[in-house]
Amino acid sequence: MSRLTSVTEKAAITVIEKILPRFGELDRLGMSAEDAFEVRKAENLLRAVVESSPHYKHKK
């Protein structure tokens, strides 16, 4: 279980940033439409957490 704080710590953001590229691996694999939709939702939610963090440095 997570420890709740007022700001997500940098280490947590770093973990999420490392996970995000792995979602691309799913593009080559068969998934049901429902699962693909839910996975994309999860990816977008995690990306939003990173991008809204004060620790996020915009990367192009």
Residue tagged 């704080």 (tokens): 5
pLDDT score for 59: 64
DSSP 8-state code for residue 52: T
- Which spans in the chain are helix H? 10-19, 33-51
Q: Per-residue pLDDT averaged across 46-60, rounded?
A: 85
Residue 59 lies in a domain: no
pLDDT score for 58: 73
Residue 47 lies in a domain: yes
Q: Please give the structure tokens belonging to residue 40.
A: 């994309």
Residue 2 lies in a domain: no
Q: Which residues contact 9 (CB under 8 A, 6 or more apart)?
A: 55
Q: How far apart are CA 16 and CA 32, in angstroms?
A: 25
Q: How many domains does the chain have?
A: 1
Residue 1 lies in a domain: no
Does the structure show a pLDDT above 80 at 32? yes
pLDDT score for 5: 87
